[in-house]
């Protein structure tokens, strides 16, 4: 296990998804979007209307959950109980919900096990917050992709404007700062670079440059 696993961790909005997908396509690896899994559990909890502090109800939901990912060139599709939630999980609100439920031990245990099972096949690019530290600690190639909060908010603001959606830069910046704080200060599997991860600051690099840099490092091993 853990041969041919590449981990890419880092804060939200740092370009992990774009870079991970490009790298996976280039290497003919499978792209594993673990943020999508936390978002999916978040939406399931909300739709089920259970109290997330009710251990018994939560354990039942996690036992019963039928969570499926399918990835192609257009990205990751996410299904819960055969319901396609790919679009519904991609809102800023669901990002905050995912961040909140990701701090619950039972949720982390369930998804960590599932991710490790998915990793058994090898040849995956696993993207998230704790891929290199907790889920695949023996992965041979680990990267941590960072960028300033201001740059990440600026990119997100531009993306939303290009899509013709309403966007407020200051609001986005505050959300990013809060999510960084919550993700990195939780007790369980907090967002941080693994000791043996290569840290990349993408503030002044585009996605192609980041992928080229990663491939150079991978090929050098
Ligand atoms: O990468 P994303 O924005 O889709 O992730 C949503 C939230 O899920 C993120 O704020 C924290 C949580 N998450 C996590 O705790 N561990 C992961 N491996 C991936 C995501």
Q: Is 33 in the pocket of ligand 1 (CB under 6 A)?
A: no
Residue 130 has pLDDT above 70, yes or no: yes
For residue 88, the tally of other CB atoms under 10 A from its CB is 16
User: What would the mean pLDDT of 99-110 be, rounded to a whole number?
Assistant: 95
Q: Give the global pTM.
A: 0.94
Tell me the per-residue pLDDT of 187-217, one tens digit each, with 9 for 90 and over.
999 999 999 999 999 999 999 999 999 999 9
Alpha carbon of 208 to ligand 1 centroid (Å)? 23
Find the 184 Cα to ligand 1 centroid distance in Å.
11
Residue 98 Cβ inside 6 Å of ligand 1? The answer reads yes
3: pLDDT strictly greater than 70: no
The total of structural domains in the chain comes to 1
Contact between 34 and 128 under an 8 Å Cβ cutoff? The reply is: yes
Q: What value does the mean pLDDT take over residues 64-84?
A: 89
Q: Which of 38, 104, 137, 181 to mutate to test the pocket of ligand 1 (most atoms within 8 A of CB)?
A: 38
Q: What is the mean pLDDT of the segment spanning 100-105?
A: 95
For residue 145, give the 3-state DSSP assignment. Answer: strand
Domain that includes residue 210, residue range? 5-220
pLDDT at 74 (0 to 100): 74
CA dihedral 44→46→48→52, nearest 10 degrees, is 100
Given a cut of 80, is residue 73 above it in pLDDT?
no
Q: Write down the pLDDT at residue 1.
A: 47
Q: What percent of the chain is predicted at pLDDT more than 70?
A: 99
CATH number of the domain where residue 99 is located: 3.40.50.300
> What is the DSSP track for 93-113?
HHHHHHHHHTTSHHHHHHHHH
Mean pLDDT confidence for 159-180: 92
* Residues paired with residue 79 on neighbouring β-strands, in sequence order: 68, 84
State residue 2's pLDDT score: 54
Which atom of ligand 1 sits closest to the CA of residue 17? 1
> Is a pLDDT exceeding 70 seen at residue 172?
yes
Q: Give the mean pLDDT of 126-148.
A: 97
């Amino acid at each position: 296990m853990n041969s041919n696993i590449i981990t890419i961790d880092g804060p939200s909005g740092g370009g992990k998804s774009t870079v991970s997908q490009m790298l996976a396509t280039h290497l003919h690896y499978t792209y594993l979007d673990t943020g999508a899994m936390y978002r999916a559990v978040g939406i399931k909890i909300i739709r089920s209307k259970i109290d997330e502090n009710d251990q018994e109800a939560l354990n039942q939901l996690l036992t019963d959950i039928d969570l499926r990912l399918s990835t192609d060139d257009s990205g990751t599709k996410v299904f819960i109980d055969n319901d396609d939630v790919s679009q519904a999980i991609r809102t800023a609100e669901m990002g905050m919900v995912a961040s909140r439920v990701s701090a619950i031990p039972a949720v982390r245990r369930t998804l960590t096990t599932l991710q490790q099972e998915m990793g058994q096949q090898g040849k995956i690019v696993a993207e998230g917050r704790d891929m290199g530290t907790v889920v695949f600690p023996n992965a041979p190639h680990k990267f941590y992709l960072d960028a300033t909060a201001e740059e990440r908010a600026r990119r997100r603001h531009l993306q939303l404007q290009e899509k013709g959606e309403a966007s407020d830069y200051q609001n986005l910046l505050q959300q990013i700062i809060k999510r960084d704080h919550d993700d990195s200060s939780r007790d369980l599997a907090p967002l941080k670079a693994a000791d043996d991860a290569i840290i990349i600051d993408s503030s002044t690099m585009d996605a192609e440059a980041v992928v080229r840099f990663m491939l150079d490092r991978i090929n050098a091993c």
